[in-house]
Structure 1
Amino acid sequence: MHGGFERKAVGRRATAAAWGSLLLAMTATACGAGTGDGPADRPREPTAAETALLDRAQEELVRRCMKKLGFRYWPAPPSEPDELKDFPLVVDDMAWARRHGYGGDLQQRAEKERRNDPNVAYVQGFSAARQQAYSVARTGDGSRSLEVTAPNGQDVGQDSTGCIAEAEGTLYGDFRAWFRVSVITDNLPDHSVDVRRDARFRRAVEEWSACMAKQGHPYKSPSHLQKELAKLTGGRSRDEAHRTEVLLATAEASCARSTPLAATVRSLTRNHDRAVREKYGSDIDAKRRMQLAALTRAREITGN
């Protein structure tokens, strides 16, 4: 998605992350894989439904762990497939655009879930000492922190104690290995800037812009539309803003598909993904193998 919102879907996992940040502030304490082309024996990418199953299983394991330590925990619902859609360069999915425009409705839903998260209200009722104990139970006491250097050069750390680490270790079989491949694959290089600089992309954008102008939308590029969207939706009711988003997003997608833009983006992205695959393919494959192997455990944990 894009516009006044990032060109990236806002899912319920973002709600959990926001709550985690709030909890850390309260207690004053303290990763999309490139696909690329490859041999048939490489592990497949889990489906959206399988990813949701794994998320549910992990949250259930966290709940059980917290219960053993004397705390209640409400598992966060997994993201829906539409919330996982990502359009970093141009929206080209007509069905998605008709439903969500640029995803403002999804962002509003995530914000509502963040505000109404029962975990937040639960922890706010604690004393400072109890809040600290809750944080330690959930995220660890800091005694055994792991650190992995992400592809962007940043060091990412996570405590290997606490219910989150325990849940990930139980589900995926090896917390340390899972944490390492997750940090790497969740922070793979973003080549969208390189794509935008490519002459083939710029030529395709010119054709897209001409298509949009014929429909009464005078935008030079999808990023130009993105910059203007906040002005077009600002001050409007939720329904009016959504209708504006849908109108523009469906026009954007229609022009992306009727001009070379959508195909050009896919082609250029595949080229860059191959380079990513060459460098990080073993980590991508390792994560997928761990995810696929965890599906049986996830079904047992959730009863699905």
Structure 2
Amino acid sequence: MALPARLLAATCLLSAAALTLGGCAGAETAADGAGKEPALGSVEKLSSTESLAFPIAAYEITPDQQYQAKRAQNRLIEQCMKRFGFAYSLPAPVPPGADDSRSRVFGLASAEDAARFGYARPRRATDPAPATRQSPAPLSRTGQTVLNGVDPVAEAEAKAKGRAAAPTGEPMSQAEAEEAPGSGIIVDHKEVPVGGCGRESALKLYAPKPGSVDILYVFNLGAQAESRALEDSRVRKVTTKWSQCMARSGFTTSGPDTVQSDLGLEQGELSGPEAVTAAKADVACKARVNYIGIRYAVQSAYEKSLVEEHAETLALFRQQTQDRLRLAAQLNG
């Protein structure tokens, strides 16, 4: 099964910031209880997702902004490593292609793509050429210590004994890091930042001050809306109708989000004859039961409610995003 578009959109941020910063405070953005199902009003009949406007989208970070942030974080890592005497250069991130993150937000929707490619994602003329994965030059043991804030040998020994080698209770903002006790690791007569240059770069870019909004805050709100929408009685009902329609075409599947795994389609079979036949039935059934129209109406209702509930934090997140992009522009030259 393909990852949801919302999860794909966050992948760059996860690798650039969240894994470096540790825990995600954004998981506490709203109460767990879904409460009463929101009213929908009239539901539009839809057969495409590409032009849909979601309430939370106004606060999401675009692929180009993610790209600029990643470039800037690379520069911060390189600057930090240079302070300790290492000429460390990171490969440039791959520029984003055309943003089609909405094209399959509710699964396959294009009848043309279904007939030509099945469930495989077609390459577009605007997509960047496949990049050869590049790795930075290997670092010495000391260089790895500076980058990660922990001696790699000590880390391996600690893991073998089931212990953590990295310090706990790390500061969650750059301002706090500058006031907190250091790592105690001295290289080239200077103390290595807690968490190394990797963590320092993330704090400087994503959490310069205490109270910085979690970089995944908006993603978590969107994921929460999506989760609530999937449990909504109206979505469950239309999903059942879609499954019944698929069954009449000879395919047993519980829903569009699991259709590929339900049908046992492996990665190399996504554009094969069976996949094409199933994909064409999938899209036709979505149109027949107005699956996209109902999913969009329900999810938008939950998103609208969360946007209203968290308007103050979202406004702060938007301002901090602009501050981050200004810093990125300075670093990227």
> TM-score, normalization: structure 2?
0.56
Residue 190 of structure 1 pairs with residue 224 of structure 2:
yes
Q: Which residue of 2 aligns with 1:163?
A: 197
Give the whole-Å Cα distance in 1 for the aligned partners of 2:248 and 2:240. Answer: 13
Q: Which residue of 2 aligns with 1:77?
A: 94
Q: Which residue of 2 aligns with 1:131?
A: 144
* Amino acid aligned to 2:119: G
Q: Deviations over 1:60-89 (max 9, x none)?
A: 332333333315241443665658559675
Give the whole-Å Cα distance in 1 for the aligned partners of 2:61 and 2:15. Answer: 22
Give the superposition deviation at 1:46: 4.4
Alignment equivalent of 1:68, drawn from 68, 83, 88? 83
Give the superposition deviation at 1:10: 4.7
Q: 5 Å matches for 1:1-304?
A: 3=1, 5-8=2-5, 10=8, 13=11, 17=15, 37=55, 45-69=60-84, 70-75=86-91, 76-77=93-94, 80=97, 82=99, 90-92=107-109, 101=119, 116-119=133-136, 122-123=138-139, 126-127=140-141, 129-136=142-149, 142=167, 145-146=170-171, 162-168=196-202, 170-171=204-205, 174-178=208-212, 180-188=213-221, 190-213=224-247, 216-229=250-263, 231-233=264-266, 238=268, 240-243=269-272, 248-249=278-279, 251-303=281-333
Give the superposition deviation at 1:17: 3.5
Q: Specify whether residues 300 and 15 from structure 1 end up closer, same or farther in structure 2 by C-alpha distance, changes over 3 A only.
A: closer
- Report if aligned partners of 1:57, 1:301 keep a CA contact under 8 Å in 2: yes
Q: Which runs of 5+ in 2 are unaligned?
A: 31-52, 124-129, 151-165, 174-192
Give the whole-Å Cα distance in 2 for the aligned partners of 1:118 and 1:300. Answer: 25
When the two chains are superposed, the root-mean-square deviation of aligned CA atoms in Å is: 4.8
* Amino acid aligned to 1:61: L
Q: Deviations over 1:189-228 (max 9, x none)?
A: 6244432332211232233234434655443422452432
> TM-score, normalization: structure 1?
0.60
Q: Which runs of 5+ in 1 are unaligned?
A: 24-30, 106-111, 149-158
Q: Deviations over 1:246-292 (max 9, x none)?
A: 66556534543453211111111122213322443322222222222
Q: Specify whether residues 245 and 204 from structure 1 end up closer, same or farther in structure 2 by C-alpha distance, changes over 3 A only.
A: same
Q: Specify whether residues 80 and 289 from structure 1 end up closer, same or farther in structure 2 by C-alpha distance, changes over 3 A only.
A: farther
Q: Which residue of 1 aligns with 2:181?
A: none
Give the superposition deviation at 1:37: 4.9
- Kindly indicate which of the two structures has a greater share of residues assigned to helix: 1
**3-state SS of paired residue (1:204):** helix
* Amino acid aligned to 1:77: V
Give the whole-Å Cα distance in 2 for the aligned partners of 1:193 and 1:173. Answer: 28
* Amino acid aligned to 2:15: A
Give the whole-Å Cα distance in 1 for the aligned partners of 2:265 and 2:259. Answer: 10
Identity of aligned residues (%): 19
Q: How many residues align?
A: 259
Give the whole-Å Cα distance in 1 for the aligned partners of 2:220 and 2:208. Answer: 20
Give the whole-Å Cα distance in 1 for the aligned partners of 2:329 and 2:112. Answer: 30
Give the whole-Å Cα distance in 1 for the aligned partners of 2:317 and 2:13. Answer: 24
Q: In terms of Rg, which structure is larger?
A: 2
